[in-house]
Amino acid sequence: MSCGPGSLPVVALVESAPRDRTMNCRCLLSPVKQVLGLPSPLRPRFLSGLSEAELNCVLSLAKHRQFRASSVIINQEDPAERLFLLTSGHGRQFVITSEGHKVVLQWLTAGQIFGGAAILSTPFRYLANMELVSEGCALVWERKTIRELLSRYPALWDNALSIAVTENIAWATAAHISLTSDNAPGRVAHLLVSLASAIGKTTRNGVEMKVSNEDLAEGANVSPFTVSRSLSAWRRAGILTKRRGKILLRRPELLLANA
């Protein structure tokens, strides 16, 4: 790995598939698909604290990939050979239980990393699957490359540890508390509040989320019937409105109180 001060390195990158202009991708790429910059105004936490030259070096050693909606990018138990940074779209991490049930662990949005097991010194396997709910793009670093970058730029190590503690562990703690203390509608309500913060789009009428009844049932560990019944009650109370594949949360402050 070689990055000259203030300049981009000359590296041999494996070109990604031809760029699909129908996708909402604003990553800055050279004609040979070398990453030149992030979409504006994306400021990933993982890359914070780097100088402009350092950031250029880290980005230039990434590969750019585009994915269709419903693409499974990481498979549970596969060797952890790559670290990903989502630059557009949103997705979710999940596991499949021995009984065949899908359990959603965490939702991810642009600017977040996944596949963190790739940075460990001892070769490891991915602990969960990762799928994109919408179409999107990601930057990808091979394990050897990202470990060299982590060694060269300690800020990346600090950022990765901070993300693990304040995002991943915090999400897991909140989910565990909800599962052990809330009733079924309460779990759905807490999940909706979390999703509104994570993937919601603020509009004039409230916070809109692209999420289905099946997504909520999987994420809250309840039946689709419970989700449908809860959403209907909250719709009658004027807390939200439901359209196919979308929920508009009008009164989030009342959601937990009415769970």
Q: Specify the pLDDT at position 4.
A: 55
Q: How would residue 215 be classed by pLDDT, with cut points 50, 70 and 90? A: confident
Q: Average pLDDT over the chain, rounded to whole?
A: 85
**Stronger pLDDT, 9 or 32, i.e. the higher one:** 32
Cβ contact 204:243 at 8 Å: no
C-alpha 22/C-alpha 24 separation (Å) is 7
CATH number among 1.10.10.10, 2.40.160.40, 3.10.310.10, 3.30.365.10, domain 182-258: 1.10.10.10
pTM given for the model: 0.75
Q: Does residue 21 register a pLDDT over 50?
A: no
Domains of the chain: which residue ranges?
28-173, 182-258
DSSP for 190-221, please give it: HHHHHHHHHH-EEETTEEEE---HHHHHHHHT
Closest C-alpha among 246, 34, 17 to residue 134: 246
- 3-class DSSP assignment, residue 176: helix
**Sheet containing 201-203: order of strands:** 201-203, 206-209, 246-249, 240-243
Q: Specify the pLDDT at position 196.
A: 84
Q: Specify the pLDDT at position 176.
A: 65
Tell me, which fold does domain 28-173 have in CATH?
Answer: Jelly Rolls (2.60.120)
pLDDT digits (tens, 9 = 90+) for 141-170: 999 999 999 999 999 999 999 888 776 666
C-alpha 64/C-alpha 61 separation (Å) is 10
